[in-house]
Chains A and B, each alone.
Chain A
Amino acid sequence: MFSFSGGVHPPENKATAEKRIESAPIPHRVFIPFSQHTGIPSQPIIKVGDMVKVGTKIGEADGRISVPTHSTISGKVTEIREYPHPVLSRRSLTCVIESDGKDTWEEGIKWRNSTEFSSQTLIEIIAEAGIVGLGGAAFPTHIKLSPPKEKPIETLIINGCECEPYLTADARLMIEHPTEIIEGAMLIAKIINPKRIVIVIEDNKPLAIEKMREVVNQRSLPITVLAIKTKYPQGAEKQLIKAVLGVEVPSGGLPMDVKTLVQNVQTSYAIYEAVNFNKPLVEKVITVSGAVKEPKNLRVRIGTPIIDLVNYCGGYLAPPHKVILGGPMMGIAQYNDELPIIKGTSGILVLTNDKIREESPCIRCGRCVKVCPMNLMPCLINSFVRLKAFDKAKEYNVLDCIECGCCGYVCPANIRLVHSFKFAKNEIWAREKKSA
């Protein structure tokens, strides 16, 4: 079985694996940050009081590594100001829109014949639709699809691993919309012209594998649907490429350095919709799970407050202890459940009665070394960080850490290793910036 070294097997807890995707009710109010992607935030092009429709552009891309932002409901812009952001640990310019209850879409958003579009046109459409990597990293997709000439892409990997516990949104999308995802993949292939296309799914999702294979076989497309070992973090880009192709993305490098491009299944789906329906990225499928009355897979408008979706799932089962955007291994704990879902959000996870254990001294058991998928020595790096020996931390490759959380998951001393490494990375980057 294809895989990588290290990794862990946390309980899957995929309670929503069998639940059909439902559309969440249109929220009364959305909070849409202008920064939902890696890169420069978009620039607001609307003002307070403006009326917008679903799909109206409200922010213009600022430079190349940026994408536009769109309204996700119809109604009136009531505020444009700094609001807490669910991912960035600071306030960020946000557009607040009050719904008019009509859900009117922009006129141009309808089916169109896309067969004649050139690859340049396709890239422009993808950029204009505000599409970013929906696996979580939220890097502008049109940049990923325009690699430099000297780095041609030979392998396109469509990532359907969804290795985080609890989350089932990608799996459901593959089961319910395999055709759209595969058409999206073919559109990406049209742009980058790879030698092979591989759709990779963990072997704990047999139904998704079956559905995707069905479509590929029916149309006899040049696509391989590859089932790989279920192991966390199988869906991490570098580990995925290693598992599929047996090659390692060089330290500090990108997948294109090994002639590979990885796109998440939801991104592929969004590309399909943008190209064939002129539809900007205004909604996505997420999983709401954990301590809510009725966990669900939901198609949600970007900007919907967490609490609206929790309430739609019957509310909290018990007073929540943690509300997390994303999965339990890499998700971000929120201090407020009124923060919005953004493009990179893959789920809402509510945890209760999670005992906070104090850190105890490292006993050097070596479990973190064993599970690290990047082959780092987390316990040693952490001891350097404690001593503020950031040079040593860098020498032991802390910058290669992908923050997957395997080390923290297994640490018997409950040491916040990922926290320590995030801190070290920021310190190192800040120092390098200063000295540059």
Chain B
Amino acid sequence: MPKELVVSASPHIKSGVTTEKLMWSVVIALLPAFLGSIYFFGLKSLLLVGLSIASALLSEAFAQKIFGRKITITDGSAVITGILLAFNLPPGVPLWMPIIGSAFAIIIAKQFFGGLGYNFVNPALAGRAFLMISWPYFMTAKWLAPNNGYLAGFDAVTQATPLTLLKNTLVSMKDSTITPEQLALAKNTLTQLNSLPVIKNLFFGNVGGCLGETSALLLLVGAIFLLATKVIDYRIPVSYLGTVTILSLIIPTQTNVLFQLFSGGLFLGAFFMATDYVTSPVTKLGRWLFGIGCGLLTVIIRTWGGYPEGVSYSILFMNLLTPLIDRYTKPRVFGVVKK
């Protein structure tokens, strides 16, 4: 008789999908946008992302050590948080910002609540929100013009993001003291924002913005990889982007649909942050609702809110609704008749 037989409950075979594989797949999917950020914003991007990842990993190890948990920094989840946090920073921020941001994301937003699987908001977005309210100047005024591949130094030209430009223009137009010349200028800016070259730059990423958000194309490449390998479910991105598309057609945003879709952090948010497993619903219907909610809030904040961009706050807000959505979208159990 064999010495030791293992006894365990069924099933005795596994699909081979593991948490680690899923997490590292997301890291791989973020690589095109990462390379893009280096192309557009120079080597400083490499430094910011690198520091952010290093800080996320160290914070995770530190917190797990303190809390007496198993150290799991190789599971890839902290790496994702590090990358995403850096992707949400303007390229002009000082080097300590990704370090502080990632530390907050991992220690406060993730480990304080129990670590992987227990955080109630997306750690990277929580980190970004923390930086936003603590150092609003760095987070909103440090936009740089992309350098078209020139591996830039650290003193690049500043340039507002298309969404900031849009917001400022629309605000100035509502000002009653506006002169006819200024009004004409503002209208000209609006026309330009809706022009084909601008849309094209938005799609390829040749515009000012956060490190990882500018190129819709490169984000899409990663997203298609994640959808094709079934790492992420299509429901959230489809309903999120679909809602933004429909609302942009209905609401007078002064811009066309493509501008709304490709600008700001929408693609980064819809494919890589709203789809964060831990903080989004597990049911099919719940995922549709979650995406619709994100889309609705994004358009509302962009159109009527004080900020030019609303993706991160929309997702953070919907994260809070996730437990509720799960509870109210419990699937009808086989053989149970709805009362």
Main DSSP-derived SS at the B contact region? loop
Q: Does B284 contact A (CB under 8 A)?
A: yes
Q: Does A389 contact B (CB under 8 A)?
A: no
A-B contact pairs, 28 of them (CB 8 A): A251-B335, A251-B336, A319-B3, A320-B5, A322-B6, A328-B11, A329-B10, A332-B10, A333-B7, A333-B8, A333-B9, A333-B10, A335-B7, A337-B2, A337-B5, A361-B117, A361-B118, A363-B116, A364-B117, A365-B22, A374-B334, A376-B331, A377-B283, A377-B326, A379-B282, A410-B17, A412-B19, A414-B14
Q: Mark B15-48, 1 if CB is under 8 A from A, else 0.
A: 1011101100000000000000000000000000
Residues of A within 8 A of B9 (CB): 333, 408, 416, 418-419, 422
A399 to chain B, nearest CB (A): 10
* Pairwise interchain contact B334-A412, C-beta atoms closer than 8 A: no
Main DSSP-derived SS at the A contact region? loop
* Pairwise interchain contact B13-A329, C-beta atoms closer than 8 A: yes
Residues of B within 8 A of A400 (CB): 333-336
A264 to chain B, nearest CB (A): 19
Point out which of A8, A365, A376, A396 has the most chain B C-beta atoms below 10 A from its C-beta. A365
Point out which of B11, B17, B21, B117 has the most chain A C-beta atoms below 10 A from its C-beta. B11
**What residues of chain B have their CB less than 8 Å away from a CB belonging to chain A?**
1-3, 5-15, 17-19, 21-22, 72, 75, 77, 114-118, 233, 277-278, 280-284, 287, 326, 330-337
**What residues of chain A have their CB less than 8 Å away from a CB belonging to chain B?**
8, 10-11, 165, 238, 242, 248-253, 307, 316, 319-324, 326, 328-338, 349, 351, 354, 356-357, 360-367, 369-370, 373-377, 379-380, 396-397, 400, 403, 405-406, 408-414, 416, 418-419, 422
* Pairwise interchain contact B334-A362, C-beta atoms closer than 8 A: no
Partner of A377, one of B330, B334, B335: B330
Whole-angstrom distance between the alpha carbons of A357 and B337 in the complex? Answer: 39
Residues of A within 8 A of B6 (CB): 321-322, 333, 354, 356
Residues of B within 8 A of A403 (CB): 10
* Pairwise interchain contact B278-A363, C-beta atoms closer than 8 A: yes
Whole-angstrom distance between the alpha carbons of A374 and B335 in the complex? Answer: 8
Residues of A within 8 A of B331 (CB): 369, 375-377
Partner of A408, one of B2, B11, B116, B284: B11
Which residue of A is nearest B114, CB measured?
A361
Residues of A within 8 A of B21 (CB): 412
Q: A334-B7, A364-B282 are in contact. List 15 more A-B contacts (CB 8 A).
A: A10-B15, A250-B337, A316-B2, A319-B3, A330-B10, A333-B9, A337-B5, A354-B6, A357-B14, A363-B22, A369-B282, A369-B331, A375-B332, A405-B11, A413-B117
Whole-angstrom distance between the alpha carbons of A165 and B214 in the complex? Answer: 48
* Given A361-B118, A364-B277: A333 in contact with B284 (beta carbons within 8 A): no
Residues of B within 8 A of A351 (CB): 12-13
Partner of B117, one of A319, A337, A363, A396: A363
Residues of A within 8 A of B282 (CB): 364-366, 369, 377, 379-380
Whole-angstrom distance between the alpha carbons of A230 and B336 in the complex? Answer: 25
* Pairwise interchain contact B13-A328, C-beta atoms closer than 8 A: yes
B329 to chain A, nearest CB (A): 10
* Pairwise interchain contact B13-A366, C-beta atoms closer than 8 A: no
Whole-angstrom distance between the alpha carbons of A324 and B6 in the complex? Answer: 10
* Pairwise interchain contact A366-B17, C-beta atoms closer than 8 A: no
* Pairwise interchain contact A409-B13, C-beta atoms closer than 8 A: yes
Partner of A360, one of B17, B19, B114: B19
* Given A8-B15, A316-B2: A418 in contact with B277 (beta carbons within 8 A): no
* Pairwise interchain contact A165-B336, C-beta atoms closer than 8 A: no
Which residue of B is nearest A423, CB measured?
B9
Partner of A322, one of B12, B72, B284: B12
Partner of A361, one of B7, B115, B287: B115
B130 to chain A, nearest CB (A): 23
Whole-angstrom distance between the alpha carbons of A226 and B158 in the complex? Answer: 70
Which residue of B is nearest A252, CB measured?
B335
Whole-angstrom distance between the alpha carbons of A347 and B277 in the complex? Answer: 38
* Pairwise interchain contact A409-B14, C-beta atoms closer than 8 A: yes
Whole-angstrom distance between the alpha carbons of A337 and B334 in the complex? Answer: 37
Whole-angstrom distance between the alpha carbons of A28 and B19 in the complex? Answer: 49
Which residue of A is nearest B337, CB measured?
A250
Residues of A within 8 A of B15 (CB): 8, 10, 409-410
Whole-angstrom distance between the alpha carbons of A411 and B72 in the complex? Answer: 18
Whole-angstrom distance between the alpha carbons of A338 and B1 in the complex? Answer: 8
Point out which of B116, B282, B326 has the most chain A C-beta atoms below 10 A from its C-beta. B282
Whole-angstrom distance between the alpha carbons of A414 and B3 in the complex? Answer: 26
* Pairwise interchain contact A333-B12, C-beta atoms closer than 8 A: yes
Whole-angstrom distance between the alpha carbons of A271 and B64 in the complex? Answer: 62
Instruction: Return the 8 tightest CB-CB contacts between A and B, nearest first.
Output: A405-B11, A419-B9, A361-B117, A366-B282, A251-B335, A375-B331, A374-B334, A328-B13
Residues of B within 8 A of A414 (CB): 14, 18
Whole-angstrom distance between the alpha carbons of A238 and B334 in the complex? Answer: 9
* Pairwise interchain contact A369-B11, C-beta atoms closer than 8 A: no
* Pairwise interchain contact B13-A307, C-beta atoms closer than 8 A: no
Which residue of A is nearest B6, CB measured?
A322
Residues of B within 8 A of A250 (CB): 335-337
Residues of A within 8 A of B326 (CB): 377, 380
* Pairwise interchain contact B333-A418, C-beta atoms closer than 8 A: no
Whole-angstrom distance between the alpha carbons of A241 and B333 in the complex? Answer: 16
* Pairwise interchain contact A331-B10, C-beta atoms closer than 8 A: yes
Which residue of A is nearest B9, CB measured?
A419
Partner of A412, one of B2, B13, B17, B233: B17
